Structure formats: structure tokens, C-alpha cells
Amino acid sequence: MEQLKHLQDELLDSASRLVKPGGVLIYSTCSIDPEENEERIEAFLLRHPEFDIDPVNKYVPDNFVTKRGFYMSNPVKHDLDGAFAARLVRSE
């Protein structure tokens, strides 16, 4: 898991360099594990204060939105495969 978390952090950091001010970065996994999802985003935001969470409740039904504004499908709750997504916007 540690190697995977490190790789995910590297991918996020690399992708962030390609986002222009006002642009959007989407981070998505096919997992509901907090270590691969919320924890990766929280660590990313500490390293990149120029990004903010754009709550996904504007784009998906409320029952898929976490308290922090991320997308999460849960196999038990939604009868779908587990998935996570975060929409991040770079400051202008």
C-alpha cells in the first residue's frame, strides 16, 4: 500500500503542473479506501495550497457526495462498484 500511495502522490503532483490557473484537476479511483482517496487529496492540498476542493454536489446526486464534497459510490449503499473522485480547482 505504501508504494501505491507514493505513486498516487507522484501522479497528482505531476498532473498538477499541467493545470493552468482556473483549471480543474480530477482525481479518481476505483476504490473506497480512505488511504487511496481522501488521504491522498488531503496530503496533496497540504503540498499544493494553490488548489481548492470544488464540491461535486453541483454535478452528481447528493447521496453520492461526501461531507468534504468528494464523489463516493459505495457497493452496499448504491448497488454500484466502489469509486471515488475529487474535483480540484487551481486558484487564478
Check if the beta carbon of residue 28 is closer than 8 Å to that of residue 15: no
Alpha-carbon gap, residue 63 to 36, rounded angstroms: 21
* CA-wise closest residue to 84 among 76, 69, 92: 69
Q: Does 45 participate in catalysis according to the annotation?
A: no
Encode 37-59: b = buried (16+ Cβ within 10 Å), e = exposed: bbebbeebbeebeebeebbbeee
Residues 7, 30, 57, 59: which is the catalytic one?
A: 30
By annotation, the residues acting in catalysis are 30
